[in-house]
């Protein structure tokens, strides 16, 4: 949400893709059009991208933030990790990201190039869990590790089209998913961050995304946004 608002505030025509239930709860924002989309459904993604690309302005920026993060150990007292759950997390976080990036890149490749032949940028979202996954994060870490690993080959694949690919790997960000935690638990999370000792803010992710859009020599890199956090096993 913060990223959509930040881009819209800079004059971009923003199309926000999310599940219908999430869109129903979203605030109306000038310059932002909500498009009900399941990122695991290629046909829905293509329809949404076609809507954005046909809005009368070139499609130049794509930011992939969709993700789910269920917790389960490989082995526990309840048995083995649910295989369908593992598959679902990878399907949403990794395959969904790949699908949106691929379909959007196809549309971007048809636009008129700017200086240096540039046509746009795709910003994907990994996580510090891609590098230091905690106990119970096997599915989430695998999916986000895949997003991080896609960055260089995607940037190389799309270089001939003038499309950059970057990835942001956030640490602990104070998103609505954190709304239900206690103040004590929140304080403990903040204390684990070397500096600054607080949770990250969604507007800081948005600011970094905008910087990436505007800084056209950034390409093929994963940027950690985590206050130097290195996750412990638990």
Predicted confidence at residue 44, as pLDDT, reads 97
Predicted confidence at residue 186, as pLDDT, reads 85
Assigned token pair, 13 = 């025509």
d(CA 159, CA 170): 25
Predicted confidence at residue 175, as pLDDT, reads 83
**Directed axis angle between helix 138-158 and helix 83-90, to 10°?**
30
Q: Which entry of 34, 140, 205, 217 is annotated as an active-site residue?
A: 140
pTM value is: 0.94
Residue 113 covered by a domain: yes
Total domains, the chain = 1
Predicted confidence at residue 181, as pLDDT, reads 77
Residue 145 covered by a domain: yes
Nearest to 125 by CA among 152, 93, 172, 95: 93
Residue 78 covered by a domain: yes
Residue corresponding to tokens 């992710």: 205
- Based on the residue annotation, tell me whether 205 is a catalytic residue of this protein: no
What is the domain extent for residue 210?
61-225
The answer to whether the CB of 170 falls within 8 A of the CB of 2 is no
The answer to whether the CB of 136 falls within 8 A of the CB of 191 is no
d(CA 8, CA 57): 13
pLDDT in tens, the chain (234 residues): 899 999 999 999 999 999 988 888 888 999 999 999 999 999 999 999 999 999 999 999 999 998 998 899 999 999 999 999 999 999 999 999 999 999 999 999 999 999 999 999 999 999 999 999 999 999 999 999 999 999 999 999 999 999 999 999 999 999 877 777 788 888 888 999 999 999 999 999 999 999 999 999 999 999 999 999 999 998
Predicted confidence at residue 183, as pLDDT, reads 83
Residue 2 covered by a domain: no
Indicate which CATH number applies to the domain containing 146. 3.40.50.720
Label residue 38 exposed, middle or buried (CB < 10 Å: 0-12, 13-18, 19+).
middle
């Amino acid at each position: 949400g913060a990223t959509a608002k930040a881009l819209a505030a800079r004059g971009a025509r923003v199309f926000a893709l999310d599940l219908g239930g999430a869109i129903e709860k979203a605030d109306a924002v000038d310059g932002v059009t909500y498009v009900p989309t399941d990122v695991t459904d290629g046909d829905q993604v293509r329809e949404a991208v076609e809507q954005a690309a046909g809005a009368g302005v070139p499609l130049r920026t794509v930011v992939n933030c969709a993700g789910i993060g269920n917790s389960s150990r490989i082995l526990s007292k309840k048995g083995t990790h649910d295989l369908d759950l593992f598959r679902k997390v990878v399907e949403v976080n990794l395959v969904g990201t790949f699908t949106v990036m691929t379909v959007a890149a196809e549309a971007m490749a048809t636009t008129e190039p700017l200086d240096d032949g540039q046509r746009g940028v795709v910003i994907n979202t990994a996580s510090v869990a891609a590098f230091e996954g905690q106990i119970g994060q096997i599915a989430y870490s695998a999916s986000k590790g895949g997003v991080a690993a896609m960055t260089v080959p995607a940037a190389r694949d799309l270089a001939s089209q003038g499309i950059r690919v970057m990835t942001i790997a956030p640490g602990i960000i104070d998103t609505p998913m954190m709304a239900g935690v206690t103040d004590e638990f929140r304080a403990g999370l903040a204390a684990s961050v070397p500096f600054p000792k607080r949770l990250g803010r969604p507007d800081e992710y948005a600011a970094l995304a905008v910087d990436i859009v505007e800084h056209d020599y950034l390409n093929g890199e994963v940027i950690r946004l985590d206050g130097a956090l290195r996750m412990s096993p638990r």
